[in-house]
Structure 1
Amino acid sequence: MSEHLEDDFIEEKSKTQVKREFLALQDLGARLAGLKPDILNRLPLNDALLKALEESPRHTKHIARKRHNQYLGKLLRGHDVEAIQSVLDNFDSASREYNNRFHQLERWRERLLDEGDDALQELMLEYPDIDSQHLRGLIRQAQHERAREKPPLAARKLFKYLREMAEQNL
């Protein structure tokens, strides 16, 4: 009989825990409000939440923004927060997943500049829908700039292209 009472006690949440969870949902809502529409479309969100997120920029005063974040938190209660969080981590520069992906893209750029076509063939196996002709042109420009010790404008364009390509495949 004491086990039954302990099980009931474990499943109940304290008022503090409920409040912490709701504040976490509000913070998540505020993060979502700052995202671009193309990223929001990748998230598993319903129409009511998407509409509320579109209205977020209109709320500029402190109390209006706070009240709107509370509303976003309320709308997020019915969503799979873990799925949303995992997708967000790919786009949030403070997350470990984003940093790992960023460093991987930097390594790809350096390999493409150092190894040339061999690395490009490997990249094309990983990302088959890549525009290889455009990528070859960017690689050649970046190699040319590197050889002449010029600022790495083409290398930056190459990285930007790699980032866009990786984001499309997420």
Structure 2
Amino acid sequence: MSLNSPADEPKSKSQRKREMQALQNLGEKIIALPGSQRRQLPLSEDMRMAIEEADRISSHEARRRHMQYIGKLMRREDTEAIHTTFEQFEQFEQEKRQRDHALHQLEMWRDRLIDDGDAAVESVIHELPHIDRQSLRQFIRNARRERERQKPPINARKLFKLLRDTAGL
């Protein structure tokens, strides 16, 4: 009497449909990627051609059928390697979002320094104790003058660069 393991049992039709839908969704994610990231994925030539074709299809029904075809091709692809590459892309995007957030924070500090002056200087010095205080105050004064005279914001850019370099971004 041998016991069958769950892996030996055939998959239900619903399970097969869920797996196919997951592969099709992965194909849609690949299509949504920029070309530079697509080229980094470990895809077969058939899959690359199908993805390029999907970009050219505009009819809803034709696109739906083509996505099913892509799902079928995905069965032959190394989905583990594709998922690993996606995770790398997501990590890169997360780091980019964090850096963008930090740069936006620095832009707000720059604007606050120009608008509020000495009151804002103390909080920035508290956050960035290694900042060159003399340059900081000089850039703030010059940026205010530029703003009052409606000149290009050269010193505001220099102030931002000082903040960015001191913060290590």
After TM superposition, the score normalised by the length of structure 2 is 0.56
Helix, strand or coil: the match of 1:17? helix
Matched, 1:102 2:117: no
In the alignment, residue 64 of structure 1 is paired with which amino acid?
A
- Match in the other structure for 1:45: 43
**Mapped partners of 2:80, 2:57: distance in 1:** 27
Higher relative contact order (CA 8 A, sep 6+): 2
- Match in the other structure for 1:145: 160
After TM superposition, the score normalised by the length of structure 1 is 0.56
CA deviation profile, 1:4-25 (whole Å, cap 9, x unmatched): 23x1x44331111111000011
Identity of aligned residues (%): 35
Q: Select 1:82's aligned residue among 66, 80, 83.
A: 80
Q: Select 1:65's aligned residue among 58, 63, 66.
A: 63
Q: How does 1:6-21 map to 2 (within 5 A)?
A: 7=5, 9-12=6-9, 13-21=11-19
Number of residue pairs matched by the alignment: 119
Residue 102 to residue 11, structure 1, CA distance change in 2 (3 Å)? farther
Unaligned runs of 5+ in 2: 106-127, 132-155
Residue 17 to residue 55, structure 1, CA distance change in 2 (3 Å)? same
CA deviation profile, 1:107-161 (whole Å, cap 9, x unmatched): 9868xxx669xxxxxxxxxxxxxxxxxxxxxxxx8552367xxxxxxx6xx9xxx
CA deviation profile, 1:64-86 (whole Å, cap 9, x unmatched): 11101101111110112122122
**Segments ≥4 residues shifted beyond 2 Å:** 9-12, 89-92, 97-110, 141-147
Unaligned runs of 5+ in 1: 117-140, 148-154, 163-170
